[in-house]
Structure 1
Amino acid sequence: MNKFWTVLAFTVANKFRTKSFVVTSLIIAIVISIGLNAPYFISKFQTDETVNVGVIEGSSEMLPLLDQHVGGQERAGLELVVVPDQGSLEDNERVLKERIAAGEIAGYLLFGEADANGFPMMTYKSEKAMDFGTVNQLQQALQAIKVQVVAPALGLTAEQVNQINAPIALNKVQISVGEGAGNVGDAGKTEGEIAVATGFVYVMVIVLFIGVMASGQLIATEITAEKSSRVMEILVTSVSPLKQMFGKIFGMFIVGISQLLLLGAVALANIALPHNRSLFADMNIDLSSVGFLLIFYAVLFYLMGYFLYAAMFAAVGSIVSRTEDLGQAIMPVTFLSMIGYFIAIFGISAPDSTLITVTSFIPFFSPFIMFLRVGLTDPAVWEVWLAIGLLAATIFVTGWLAAKIYRTGVLMYGKRPSLKELRRAMRAYKI
Structure 2
Amino acid sequence: MSNFWIILGHTYFSKLKTKSFIITTLITMLIVAGLTNMTRIIDFFNKGEGSEERIAVIDETGLLINPLKEQMKANNSDIQLEAFNGSEKDAENAVKLDEYKGLLILSNNQEGLPEAAYKARSIADSSLPSELQHYLQQIKTGLAASKINLSQEQLSKLYEPVSFSKFALEENAKTEEELNQARGLVYVLLFIIYFAVILYANMIAMEVATEKSSRVMEILISSVAPVKQMFAKIIGIALLSLTQMGIILAVGIYFVKRNMESMQGGFFEFFGFSDIPTSTIIYALVFFLLGYLLYATLAAFLGSLVSRIEDVQQMIMPMTLLVVAGFMISMFGLGQPDTSFMTIASFIPFFTPMLMFMRVGMLTLPVWEPLLGIAILIITIVILAIFGAKVYKGGVLMYGKSNSFKDIKKALQLTKNE
Tell me the TM-score range normalised by the shorter chain.
0.7 to 0.9
Whether contact under 8 Å (2:395, 2:408) holds in the other structure is no
Q: Which residue of 1 aligns with 2:207?
A: 222
Q: 2:266 & 2:311 partners in 1: Cα distance?
A: 52
TM-score, structure 2 as length reference: 0.84
Matched, 1:376 2:369: no
Counterpart amino acid of residue 54 in structure 2: V
C-alpha deviation, 1:332, in angstroms? 2.4
Question: Which of 238, 245, 248 is residue 253 of structure 1 equivalent to?
Answer: 238
CA distance in 2, matches of 1:272, 1:315: 43
Which residue is 1:207 aligned to? 192
The change in CA–CA distance for 1:70 and 1:414 in structure 2 (over 3 A counts) is closer
Tell me which of 182, 193, 200 is aligned to 1:197: 182
- Deviation, 1:256, is 1.0
Residue 412 (structure 1) shift? 3.9
How far is the alpha carbon of 1:291 from its aligned partner?
Answer: 1.0
Instruction: Give deviations 1:350-407, integer Å, cap 9, x for gaps.
Output: 4344543332121011111121222234444333333222222211111111122223
User: Deviation of residue 298 (structure 1)?
Assistant: 0.8
Q: Which amino acid aligns with 2:136?
A: L
Tell me the alpha carbon deviations over residues 313-344 of structure 1, each in whole angstroms, 9 at most, x when there is no partner: 11122233333333332222222222222322
Give distance in 1, aligned partners of 2:327 and 2:240.
22
Instruction: Return the match for 2:104 from 94, 103, 108.
Output: 108
Report the number of matched residues. 409
Q: What one-letter code is carried by the residue in structure 1 that aligns with 2:265?
A: A
2:211–2:217 Cα contact (<8 Å) kept = yes
* Cα contact 1:110–1:123 (8 A) shared by 2: yes
After superposition, what is the alpha-carbon deviation per residue over 1:270-308, rounded to whole angstroms, capped at 9, x for unaligned? 21123x542333544452422111111111111111111
CA distance in 2, matches of 1:152, 1:195: 40
* Paired position in structure 1 for 2:262: 278
Distance 1:52 1:373, change over 3 A: same
Residues 384 and 121 (structure 1), Cα distance of their counterparts in 2 relative to 1, 3 Å cut: same
1:334 and 1:32 map into 2 onto residues whose CA distance is 25
SS at 1:363's partner residue? coil
In structure 2, how many angstroms separate the alpha carbons of the residues matched to 1:25 and 1:380? 39
Per-residue Cα deviation, 1:109-147 (whole angstroms, up to 9, x for no partner): 2313333xx524444444442464443344343344345
3-state SS of the aligned residue for 1:405? helix
* Aligned counterparts of 2:213 and 2:96: Cα–Cα separation in 1: 69
Please state if 1:78 is matched with 2:80: yes
The answer to whether 1:424 aligns with 2:413 is yes
Deviates more, 1:256-265 or 1:70-79: 70-79
Deviation at 1:41, TM superposition (A): 0.9
Matched, 1:398 2:384: yes
Cα RMSD (Å) of the superposition?
A: 3.2
The 10-residue stretch of structure 1 (228-237 or 357-366) with the greater mean CA deviation from structure 2: 228-237
Kept after mapping to 2: 8 A contact 1:113/1:121: yes
Counterparts of 2:413 and 2:183, CA distance in 1 = 49
- Taking structure 1 as reference, are residues 234 and 94 closer, same or farther at Cα in structure 2, changes over 3 Å only? closer
Q: For the residues of structure 2 that align with 1:104 and 1:408, how far apart are their CA atoms? A: 73
Secondary structure of residue in 2 paired with 1:418: helix
TM-score, with normalisation over the residues of structure 1? 0.81
Change (3 A) 1:147 1:258: same
**d(CA) in 2 for partners of 1:19, 1:102:** 47
CA contact (8 A) 1:271 1:277 kept: no
SS in 2 for 1:289: coil
- Judged with a 3 Å threshold, the aligned counterparts in structure 2 of structure 1 residues 352 and 48 are, in CA distance, closer, same or farther, namely farther
- Distance in 2 between residues matched to 1:322 and 1:33, nearest whole Å: 38
Q: Which has the larger radius of gyration?
A: 1
Instruction: Provide Cα deviations, 1:235-259, integer angstroms capped at 9, x if missing partner.
Output: 2343222211111111111111111
2:347 aligned residue (357, 361, 374): 361
CA 1:395/1:64 → structure 2, altered by over 3 Å: closer, same or farther? closer
Q: 1:182: which partner in 2?
A: none
Go from structure 1 to structure 2 and tell me whether the alpha carbon gap of 1:296 and 1:93 turns closer, same or farther (over 3 Å shift).
same
Q: CA deviation at 1:262?
A: 1.1
| Identity value in percent | 33
**Does the aligned pair in 1 maintain the 2:103–2:120 contact within 8 Å?**
yes
The answer to whether the 8 Å contact 1:96/1:108 transfers is no
1:304 corresponds to: 290
CA shift, 1:413, in A, is 4.0
Q: Secondary structure at the match of 2:170?
A: coil
The answer for the alignment partner of 1:269 in structure 2 is: 254
SS of the aligned residue for 2:227 comes to helix
The structural deviation recorded for 1:265 is: 1.1
| Of 60-69 and 264-273, the range deviating more from structure 2 | 60-69
Match of 1:183 in 2: none
Structure 1 residue aligned with 2:334: 348
Aligned pairs (5 A) from 1:13-92: 13-46=13-46, 47-49=49-51, 51-56=54-59, 59-62=61-64, 65-66=67-68, 69=71, 74-75=76-77, 77-81=79-83, 83=85
Q: 1:373 to 1:134 in 2, by over 3 A?
A: same
What residue in structure 2 maps to residue 240 of structure 1?
225
Letter of the structure 2 residue corresponding to residue 11 of structure 1: T
Q: Return the alpha-carbon distance in structure 2 between the equivalents of residues 10 and 360 of structure 1.
A: 36
Structure 2 unaligned blocks of 5 or more: none
Select 1:339's aligned residue among 313, 325, 336: 325
Relative to structure 2, which stretch is displaced further, 128-137 or 202-211? 128-137
Letter in 1 for 2:257: A
SS in 2 for 1:215: helix
